[in-house]
Amino acid sequence: MNRVVHPIEVESYRRLRARLDTSHFPPLTRAVVERVIHSAADLDYATDLVMDEAALRKAHTALHAGAPVVVDVEMVGAGITRRETVCRLRDAESGPGLTRSAHAIRLAHEQVGPGALWVIGNAPTALEELLTLDADPALVIGLPVGFVGAVESKAALRESGLPAVSNVSEKGGSAVAAAALNALLYHPTSAEENL
């Protein structure tokens, strides 16, 4: 992917790395940590994020091979650049025991099937619903924000054993969830590294 990086972004990363040594992270983990920190100007994400490099490698391969990207809200989709996303929130309806966000995840799952990358940055109930489905995801970026259900839904994601990016605290949100996906999207493939 040919991407022109603006000088402001270059300077921002220089300042980030001057304040925080990220060199000990493996390549894709470092890319995710740095892009999330960059999106939130919050250095605490370096110790708050939880992910596995091997899972990120597989997700990176799937993403660059064209796997679908599903988002819980349009704001997450708006933050993901150079890639179409699936968001079914406009089609969803709430009902007894089912939030609109959870219904949107069901609808998206019916549409995309297995192997998608799921990016959840808003609704803990969306992440909770995804965990009840047989989604067989390439990756779940589970970074919903909030004081009700966010910590618990992210803990459940980690306990599920699914390939995931999550964090331990209440922090999260659309911008950081999109940033985590963009880190994988922007990271070169082995073919691009050899150009």
139-142/164-167 β-pairing: parallel
CB 126 within 8 A of CB 179: no
> What is the Cβ-side half-sphere exposure of residue 153, based on CA atoms within 13 angstroms?
28
Tell me the Ramachandran region of residue 82: left when phi exceeds 0, alpha when psi lies from -120 to 50, beta otherwise. Answer: left
Q: Quick check: is 109 catalytic?
A: no
Catalytic site residue from 24, 38, 103, 109: 38
Q: Which secondary-structure segment (H or E) carries 175?
A: helix 174-186
Helix (H, G, I), strand (E, B) or coil at 12: helix
CB 166 within 8 A of CB 120: no
Helix (H, G, I), strand (E, B) or coil at 106: helix
Residues marked as catalytic:
38
